[in-house]
Chains A and B, each alone.
Chain A
Amino acid sequence: MTRFVLEYHLVAYRRVWRGSVLSSFVLPLLTMLGFGVGVGTYVTGGVDGVPYLDWIVPGLIASTAMQVAIGDSSWPVLGGFEWQRIYFGQAAAPLRVADILDGHLAFVVFRTLTSCAAFLVIATAFGAMHSWWALATLPVAALVGLAVATPTFAYAATIRVDSYLAVLFRLGVIPMSLFSGVFFPVESLLGPLRWIAYALPLWHGVELSRAATLGVAPAWSLVGHVLYLSLWAGAGWLLAHRQFTRRLVV
């Protein structure tokens, strides 16, 4: 059943995919040029003995995964309840709430994976990839995507006005992408701020992603990071499911 819901989203996406190429692909590319190449020239010593470009790219992959996943589970989910109301149409079909939720989540993972894969290709062209282990960033991206998408689904299914999404981006997404070790090591953050970064999902994705492309050991054990991200995904899913049920089963 989940498959049919995914199919619906893929068919709908076929009509608009060109527009999304810009935001989910060109923007990260520009970021890589602007920071990795531009600012990188001034980071003469590199970071942890690695050139700045090589250091920043795995972080940007994880960050792209987060941004695409949240972008695709915020406005579309709110719209599914408030504007186009697609969920109500799906609920009228013989689908369970979990099918509707999982089908849409599967689509978000699809979007996350394709965006990150494209980014990976470009990064390779810039010579920022050094081994086949770089491919391991893709499952990491999918996991990061799920860890942030599920709580976003829950949030977007709770609010009624889209200005609260702007608040989510300004108070959640942007700070997280700026302070999760993508651009500079979290170790240089002040104590309490560092702990906030540890608590949020993106830093774990960045660590895993960096371990994959640079072949360095992550801060926590590999399993620890994966488990922590799974915890976010699982808890988020439960919240989202509860919220979807409240709205769809009246």
Chain B
Amino acid sequence: MVTLILPRLISFEGAGRRSSSVVERNATTLQSSYWLVLASGFLEPVLYLFSIGVGVGRLIGDLTLPDGRVIGYAAFVAPAMLASSAMSGALSETTFNFFGKMKFMKLYDGMLATPLRPIEIALGELVWAMIRGALYAAAFLVIMVAMGLTTAGLAVLAFAAAVLVGFAFGGVGMALSTFMRSWQEFDLVASVQFALFLFSGTFVPAQAYPPVLRWVVEVTPLYRSVDLIRAVTTGSVGWRQALDVVYLLVLFALGLAVAGRRMGQLLCK
């Protein structure tokens, strides 16, 4: 999918080089205070894992999955925390920060006076968000392996899955940001994000929901991400996960295409 769509979006030679110059610009802005924010961002999923996975897990005991296997509650929650942290990492960089750079810092107006094109800026910002997300994912997986919630081999595969999840949500976040008019509208994004976090089969299996709700949940992107990563870390990958992968790839390609197009319309009037 990516290889089919991307070359048509970015046909110009040197696009990769130009996108990476956007990444370079962001790296230059890193300061001491930002490092602290960066480092503390990694903690969030770990804290949830210990509080809900371990703490509440003690009240719940083991969980029987739909396929009949029985796993500890922490092993059930951990992959969901990884997926939602990949989501929130990608979204925070591509919604709030991206919007601020575009609307208030007028950063992209300056960039567009150079050979950079809107889609290349979008891709550069996305890659930047992913570098951060990938570091978090890797650190979280190390903890999962240390706690015996998955194996080292599966963790490598789960890492790739988490990066894919990040790209998908990053694309969506960026596309959404181009339709935003004010900061207040991001409260809505945050609320939707929180609802996804709670109800995407993260803390209880989606099978526990009433049928109608269950169908709604199963088409949401975080549910597909949790489904993919959980199947990987618990070692039960099947054909269903191919669907997850295709779903996330399509989301990514669509998000990026819309974002690039909308940026062109907004900035190149």
Q: Do chains A and B touch in the complex (CB under 8 A)?
A: yes
Residues of A that sit less than 8 Å from B by CB = 16, 19, 22-23, 26-27, 30-31, 33-35, 38-39, 41-43, 45, 47, 52, 161, 163-164, 166-167, 170-171, 174-175, 178-179, 183-184, 188-189
**In the bound complex, do residue B52 and residue A183 qualify as a contact, i.e. CB atoms below 8 Å apart?**
yes
Measured CB to CB, the closest approach of chain B to A50, in angstroms, equals: 12
Task: Give A26 to B195 CA distance when docked, in angstroms.
Answer: 10
Question: What is the distance, in angstroms, from A162's C-beta to the closest C-beta of chain B?
Answer: 9
Counting from the closest, the 6 A-B pairs by CB-CB distance are A34-B198, A178-B51, A184-B55, A170-B40, A163-B33, A43-B59
| Residues of B near any A CB (own CB < 8 A) | 33-34, 36-37, 40-41, 43-44, 47-48, 50-52, 55-56, 58-60, 63, 73, 184, 187-188, 190-191, 194-195, 198-199, 203-204, 208
Query: Is there contact, CB below 8 Å, between B187 and A22?
Result: yes
Best-buried of B43, B51, B52 by chain A (most CB within 10 Å): B51
The answer to whether B44 and A174 have CB atoms under 8 Å apart is: yes
Write 14 A-B pairs (CB below 8 A) sorted by A numbering: A27-B194, A33-B198, A38-B199, A42-B60, A42-B73, A167-B33, A170-B37, A170-B40, A170-B43, A170-B44, A178-B51, A179-B55, A188-B55, A188-B58
Q: Bound state CA distance, A43 and B194, in angstroms?
A: 22
Q: Which residue of B has the minimal Cβ distance to A47?
A: B59
Interface contact B33-A164, CB-CB below 8 Å: yes
In the bound complex, do residue B48 and residue A166 qualify as a contact, i.e. CB atoms below 8 Å apart? Answer: no
A41 touches B44 (CB 8 A): no
Docked Cα-Cα span, A41 to B206, in Å, equals 13
Q: Nearest Cβ distance between residue B17 and chain A, in whole angstroms?
A: 30
Q: A42-B60, A184-B59, A188-B58 are in contact. List 10 more A-B contacts (CB 8 A).
A: A26-B191, A39-B203, A43-B56, A164-B36, A170-B44, A178-B48, A179-B51, A183-B55, A184-B55, A184-B56
Nearest CB of A to B92, in Å: 9
Q: Which of A16, A52, A167 has the most CB of B within 10 A?
A: A167
In whole angstroms, how far apart are the Cα atoms of A32 and B127 in the complex?
Answer: 36
In the assembled complex, the CB of B29 is this many whole angstroms from the nearest CB of chain A, namely 11
Instruction: Determine the chain A residues whose CB is within 8 A of the CB of B59 once the complex forms.
Output: 43, 45, 47, 52, 184
What CA separation (Å) do A156 and B60 show in the bound complex?
39
Contacts of A175 in B (CB 8 A): 43, 47
A96–B222 Cα distance when bound, in Å, is: 51
Given A19-B184, A170-B41, A188-B58, A161:B33 Cβ within 8 A: yes
Bound together, the chains give a CA A27 to CA B193 distance in angstroms of 10
Which A residues are CB-close (under 8 A) to B60?
Answer: 39, 42-43
Task: Kindly list chain A residues whose C-beta atoms are within 8 Å of the C-beta of B34.
Answer: 163
Query: Quick one: closest B residue to A186, CB to CB?
Result: B55
- Nearest CB on B from A223, distance (A): 29
> What distance in Å separates the Cβ of B190 from its nearest Cβ neighbour in chain A?
7
Given that A19-B184, A22-B187 are known contacts, is A30 also in contact with B51, CB under 8 Å in the complex?
no
Residues of A within 8 A of B52 (CB): 39, 178, 183
The answer to whether A30 and B55 have CB atoms under 8 Å apart is no
A45 CA / B56 CA spacing, docked (Å): 12
